[in-house]
A and B are shown apart, each in its own frame.
Chain A
Amino acid sequence: MKLELRGITKIFGSLVANDHIDLVVEEGEIHALLGENGAGKSTLMNVLYGFYDPDDGEILVDDVPRTFTGPGDAMAAGIGMVHQHFMLVPVFTVAENVALGHEPVKGGGILDLKVARARVREISERFGFDIDPDALIEDLPVGAQQRVEIIKALSRDAQVLILDEPTAVLTPQETDELIEIMRELRAAGTSIVFITHKLREVRAVADRITVIRRGKVVGTASPQSSEKELASAMVGRSVSLGVEKAPAKPSDVRLQVRDLAVTNAAGAKALDSVSFDVAGGEILAIAGVQGNGQTELAEAILGMQPRATGSVRLGGTELVGRSIRQVLDAGVGFVPEDRSKDGIIASFSIEENLILDLHDRAPFAKGPMIDRRVVAENAERQIEQFDVRARSAQDLGSQLSGGNQQKLVLAREMSRPLELFIASQPTRGLDVGSIEFVHKRIVAERDAGTAVIIVSTELDEVLDLADRIAVMYRGQIIGVVPAGTSRDVLGLMMAGLPLAAAQTEAAKHPTHPADAGRPAGTPEVLS
């Protein structure tokens, strides 16, 4: 099936999210849609999937113009979509989720689950997915959930499959498996629209690449283009991939974590006997697939986890059992993973957000009152220093873009003298420009002698920033390895293999030979 978008335009208020976009997806090809977060890729796909009405332009299926008033129409036309945030009901079984919306029924509207299960089994076996139709979605790992999404689309005879940032939640090994699945689907005649901002994957699997920037198609590229060329096309200027940083000069051990454990509300171990050290002037990156205890680790150090046991010593001071205020006063700076929810107060101005943790002390407080003049001066200075793009310091937090919100959080957290700086997912969802800026500031903080912990699920970021890497799996640190460890080994460790086993395994199956031992920060070549 051939799919064509002609002159698609979508406007939200004053923002032109899609500006006359043309796109042709031929039968049986993998077409990558490359662009930064906020470039308009998801908007375009939501138009295609019938979620949004386009303000202009038309959609042609096999050269016949079609209008979709809802996802139902798009599905009927043979378009399936795997969303970035899975559209699965967690308390339903696989079969129920796959059936939902086109349920096989017996008389009286009673579900025929036998037929639904058979359908899941049939597709699952055809592509070797190994999915149990009666498993509850919430019990499945993320990779399996994604395969359920693919089954869901295929069970509706999707001939064009849209994958929206499908690798964001996967381990490197799961990503390889997904790429394999994409190739199989292509061989079976399914066209795939692959939305991503990850250059490596695009080059590995795409037949054609369309680059989108600020709502417009800025060009097409072939998978043979270098990573640097693709990045430049995506951002619109030449970019330096990777982070320039001098080798770390670690001083004495600043942070000692011993047997730190956290039980969650349900009584399960979210963090299980974690021990590590961080020296002043070095960056320890915590790598791992989302949900393996990284969030709990960062929060436990800050004192946000009520059920934490063990010891966290910062320069000799015990932090476990202290209040968050006391931990902050001990010199800890913290960037939470959900910046718009936990990092700022969206309805407060930039000025106010900059003094959230300092409003009660000099120079900002004068007795019970806040000195507005000092607050304004502080904001002026920080906005300048951290390059926060806003019309004025009175702008609300909610009016800022993700990148500028993150700069605001960094400005606030770095405005105190720090012993330890923790950042969770510091660049998630940011544009390339902001990522460069955030990385520079983090390295600068390290060079100032602060102990730095970066929690990141992006392997690229981990490799770019880390002086050492701790890999987490199921609430434990599975190993601490030096910077420059190969992606394969890290990926296997993220899936739960200890270092030695991961090295043996990686040596046996070199997926990307050129990749092994490459120094962090240099673009790699795919085999």
Chain B
Amino acid sequence: MSVSTDKSLKNPGGPTDDRGALTGEVAPPISWQAPVAYWVVAALTVLVFALGAPTGSETTFSLATSKDFFQLAPLTVPAGPVTIGLGVLVAALAGYATYAAVRRVKVGVWVPVIVGIAFLLAFLVWSGADKGNAIAVPNMLTQGLVFAVPLAFGAMAGLVCERSGIINIAIEGQLLAGAFLAAVVATLVSNPYAGLLAAPLAGAAVAAVLAWFAITYRVDQIIVGVVLNVLVTGLTSFLFSTVLKENSSTLNSPPRLPVIEIPLLSQIPIVGPMLFRQTILVYILFVTIAVLQVMLFRSRWGLRMRAVGEHPKAADTVGIKVNRTRWRNTILGGAIAGLGGASFTIALGLAFGKEMTAGRGFIALAAMILGRWSPRGALLAALLFGLAEALRGTLSIVGSPIPAQFLSMLPYLATIFAVAGLVGRVRAPAAEGIPYTK
């Protein structure tokens, strides 16, 4: 044979025999990001919040609104002990996460969720320590939901499109178009519900342009999406300046969607007002998310749509029309985003204003990714972003020791960390962004 020698040739059983000695060297690398992040949070909680709260200070939370049947008494807690307790809780979770990382065991989603909630509570207690004003929890939650609604609609739009393989960067434009048309139609007809019907049409129209270029002409989907955002911003701003401004009473003073209070349920302490004292738009959102969650993973429609987004050729070979499926879902997604746009104008009874969506479409995309392309996850992510926004408002009333601009940065900072791997590996639909041709 040859001049060289080889262990495994001399000893055919070789590879299995000497495998054990080397196992340690090539074991998967330990993922330290999450435990390190938790330890930083624990340190912050104890060092800044617990030690930073004035000694013997107290924080007051009000837990009911004036309309509530059960008037829960405001809750007053001692700032120091509570923050220390929360810090210890976070430290315990950090310890558990470290142990799990060393053993290469995966921890559940509940760990980051509890860490986040504990950190938030500690922060609130610290911010409100020895301030004259109570922190109004139900108001903050309700406000958070108001902020979350367009994000959640946008995230649903994004995931319906992306699950079928079309990247929808144009959510921003679809929201804006929906907000615009909702305001104008509701004003013209003097009925907010008419605006609610018009908004999805505007979003769907923007989505149809996206689908036309992305599917029929196979233009890069991200470029089309960005261009569409600029186009819709320009178009609505132009119409606003030339037409709406002059005739604001006849074209741009939409009536407000009435708040529908659901009997009994809206009286649930703390969360009742947030969930059940809302406009019809919010209820439509809840239904949309629930239906999508079921249909996406358990229906024929969902199976076909996911097949088209994961492996379009496989779908084609079993007789599913790939591009038709993508067209339909892109337009459906646009309609959902357009409906979300109505939350900027008619849901609040506000007139349309230039660029009033202010980048929410992109935050909606972040919520979709953070929620791992699932309706339930995206809703939670949208709520997180919404709450962070509301927190900023609440704290500026209470008088926070931290500048509001810094606080408004926090949710996005959290998104970057989350997307970087704190919530586990994120897996996008395999065929998204790739035009399909036979």
Are A309 and B26 CB-contacts (below 8 A) given A71-B316, A100-B318?
yes
Contact A500 B13 (CB under 8 A): yes
Binary per-residue interface labels of chain A (223-258) against chain B in the complex, 1 for a CB within 8 Å, 0 otherwise: 000000000000000000000000010101100000
Distance A268 CA – B26 CA, assembled complex (angstroms):
8
Say yes or no for A259: interface residue by CB 8 A criterion. Answer: yes
Say yes or no for B405: interface residue by CB 8 A criterion. Answer: no
Q: Of the listed stretches A212-220, A314-322, A368-376, A474-482, name the one at the interface; the rest are far from the partner chain.
A: A474-482
Please, which residues of chain A bring their CB within 8 A of the CB of B299? Answer: 105, 108-111
Say yes or no for A463: interface residue by CB 8 A criterion. Answer: no
Contact B320 A467 (CB under 8 A): no
Contact A89 B307 (CB under 8 A): yes
Contact A96 B317 (CB under 8 A): no
Say yes or no for A129: interface residue by CB 8 A criterion. Answer: no
Say yes or no for B398: interface residue by CB 8 A criterion. Answer: no
Please, which residues of chain A bring their CB within 8 A of the CB of B28? Answer: 263, 266-268
Say yes or no for B413: interface residue by CB 8 A criterion. Answer: no
Distance A481 CA – B314 CA, assembled complex (angstroms):
40
Are A267 and B314 CB-contacts (below 8 A) given A89-B306, A89-B307, A468-B1?
no
Contact B314 A263 (CB under 8 A): no
Say yes or no for A499: interface residue by CB 8 A criterion. Answer: yes
Residue of chain A at shortest CB distance from B319: A72
Contact B12 A99 (CB under 8 A): no
Binary per-residue interface labels of chain B (309-351) against chain A in the complex, 1 for a CB within 8 Å, 0 otherwise: 0110111111111000000000000000000000000000000
Are A87 and B18 CB-contacts (below 8 A) given A110-B298, A277-B4, A479-B12?
no
Please, which residues of chain A bring their CB within 8 A of the CB of B358? Answer: none
Binary per-residue interface labels of chain B (1-19) against chain A in the complex, 1 for a CB within 8 Å, 0 otherwise: 1111111110011111011
Number of interface residues of A (CB under 8 A): 65
Contact B19 A89 (CB under 8 A): no
- Which residue from A91, A279, A478 sits with its C-beta under 8 Å from B310? A91
- Which residue from B5, B9, B313 sits with its C-beta under 8 Å from A87? B313
List A residues 415-444 near B (Cβ within 8 Å): none
Say yes or no for A501: interface residue by CB 8 A criterion. Answer: yes
Distance A269 CA – B29 CA, assembled complex (angstroms):
11
Contact B25 A261 (CB under 8 A): yes
Please, which residues of chain A bring their CB within 8 A of the CB of B321? Answer: 70
Distance A49 CA – B7 CA, assembled complex (angstroms):
51
Distance A87 CA – B1 CA, assembled complex (angstroms):
44
Please, which residues of chain B bring their CB within 8 A of the CB of A185? Answer: none
Binary per-residue interface labels of chain A (260-290) against chain B in the complex, 1 for a CB within 8 Å, 0 otherwise: 0111001111001101111100100000000
Please, which residues of chain A bring their CB within 8 A of the CB of B4? Answer: 253, 276-279
Contact B12 A499 (CB under 8 A): yes
Residue of chain B at shortest CB distance from A50: B319
Say yes or no for B188: interface residue by CB 8 A criterion. Answer: no
Please, which residues of chain B bring their CB within 8 A of the CB of A87? Answer: 311, 313-314, 317-318
Residue of chain A at shortest CB distance from B6: A480
Contact A273 B8 (CB under 8 A): no
Are A277 and B5 CB-contacts (below 8 A) given A52-B438, A90-B310, A267-B29?
yes
Residue of chain B at shortest CB distance from A248: B2
Contact B3 A275 (CB under 8 A): no
Distance A49 CA – B413 CA, assembled complex (angstroms):
51
List A residues 284-337 near B (Cβ within 8 Å): 309
Q: How far is the CB of B65 from chain A (nearest CB, A)?
A: 38
Please, which residues of chain B bring their CB within 8 A of the CB of A272? Answer: 19, 22, 26
Distance A64 CA – B296 CA, assembled complex (angstroms):
41
Distance A278 CA – B4 CA, assembled complex (angstroms):
7
Please, which residues of chain B bring their CB within 8 A of the CB of A89? Answer: 306-307, 310-311, 314-315
Q: How far is the CB of B289 from chain A (nearest CB, A)?
A: 17
- Which residue from B2, B5, B25 sits with its C-beta under 8 Å from A309? B25
Contact A273 B300 (CB under 8 A): no
Say yes or no for B419: interface residue by CB 8 A criterion. Answer: no
Q: How far is the CB of A258 from chain B (nearest CB, A)?
A: 10
Residue of chain A at shortest CB distance from B5: A277
- Which residue from A51, A101, A108, A111 sits with its C-beta under 8 Å from B318? A101
Please, which residues of chain A bring their CB within 8 A of the CB of B313? Answer: 87
Say yes or no for A92: interface residue by CB 8 A criterion. Answer: yes
Distance A103 CA – B311 CA, assembled complex (angstroms):
17
Contact B303 A88 (CB under 8 A): no
Are A467 and B2 CB-contacts (below 8 A) given A71-B317, A89-B306, A101-B318?
yes
Say yes or no for A121: interface residue by CB 8 A criterion. Answer: no
Say yes or no for B287: interface residue by CB 8 A criterion. Answer: no
Distance A362 CA – B9 CA, assembled complex (angstroms):
45
Contact A103 B25 (CB under 8 A): no
- Which residue from B22, B311, B317 sits with its C-beta under 8 Å from A259? B22
Say yes or no for B301: interface residue by CB 8 A criterion. Answer: yes
Contact A101 B12 (CB under 8 A): no
Distance A476 CA – B20 CA, assembled complex (angstroms):
13
Are A105 and B300 CB-contacts (below 8 A) given A88-B311, A279-B3, A501-B12?
yes
Are A102 and B318 CB-contacts (below 8 A) given A109-B295, A253-B4, A277-B5?
yes
Say yes or no for A81: interface residue by CB 8 A criterion. Answer: yes
Are A478 and B317 CB-contacts (below 8 A) given A111-B300, A259-B22?
no
Say yes or no for B430: interface residue by CB 8 A criterion. Answer: yes
Say yes or no for A33: interface residue by CB 8 A criterion. Answer: no
Are A88 and B314 CB-contacts (below 8 A) given A273-B18, A498-B13?
yes
Please, which residues of chain A bring their CB within 8 A of the CB of B318? Answer: 71-72, 75, 87, 100-102, 152
Please, which residues of chain B bring their CB within 8 A of the CB of A477? Answer: 6, 8, 15
Question: Which residues does B use to contact A, with CB under 8 Å?
Answer: 1-9, 12-16, 18-19, 22, 25-29, 294-295, 298-301, 303-304, 306-307, 310-311, 313-321, 430, 438
Q: List 11 A-B contacts (CB under 8 A).
A: A71-B318, A71-B319, A75-B318, A87-B311, A92-B303, A92-B307, A97-B314, A109-B300, A272-B22, A273-B26, A498-B13
In the A-B complex, the 3 residue pairs with the smallest Cβ-Cβ separation, listed nearest first, are A267-B28, A72-B319, A101-B318
